[in-house]
């Protein structure tokens, strides 16, 4: 009877150790990076693969680093020669610095869309109609 009780205690302890180890390990997918926070302060970047984290003390957020797109809605833009143009576009972006993208920006997608809209209006307002929309199909880049 004592052997069975001892075996049950050992099995429960082994199971408890396995559960505790699983609570400390996190998997970060290849296309993301994890921003690790210890008591709410930045404490490191989690690379893809198996990572160690202390529950309750540490938290993490995943940041997608793949290329993403934003479809810009049509914008009314006035050119230098006072011609109204309605222009839309697509913005391609990817996160290079996950730490700054997570800690310094509250809504990355919205801020990128707003920045692209203001840049589009600023660039086109300094050009004439013929400069902004040439007959040959060339890509305007700045």
pLDDT in tens, 100-130: 999 999 999 999 999 998 988 888 888 887 7
pLDDT in tens, 69-111: 999 888 888 888 888 888 888 999 999 999 999 999 999 999 9
Three-state secondary-structure class, residue 94: coil
Place of tokens 């050992």: 10
The domain defined by 68-132 folds into: Tetrahydropterin Synthase; Chain A (3.30.479)
CB 93 within 8 A of CB 61: no
Model-level pTM? 0.72
């Amino acid at each position: 009877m004592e052997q069975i009780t001892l075996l049950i205690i050992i099995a429960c302890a082994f199971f408890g150790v396995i559960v505790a180890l699983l609570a400390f390990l996190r998997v970060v997918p290849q296309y993301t990076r994890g921003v690790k926070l210890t008591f709410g302060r930045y404490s490191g970047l989690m690379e893809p693969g198996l990572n160690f984290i202390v529950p309750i003390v540490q938290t993490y957020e995943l940041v997608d680093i793949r290329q993403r797109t934003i479809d810009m809605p049509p914008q009314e833009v006035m050119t230098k020669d006072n011609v109204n143009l309605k222009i839309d576009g697509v913005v391609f972006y990817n996160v290079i610095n996950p730490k700054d993208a997570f800690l310094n920006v509250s809504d990355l997608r919205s801020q990128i869309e707003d920045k692209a809209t203001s840049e589009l209006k600023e660039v086109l307002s300094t050009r004439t109609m013929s400069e902004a929309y040439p007959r040959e199909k060339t890509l305007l880049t700045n």
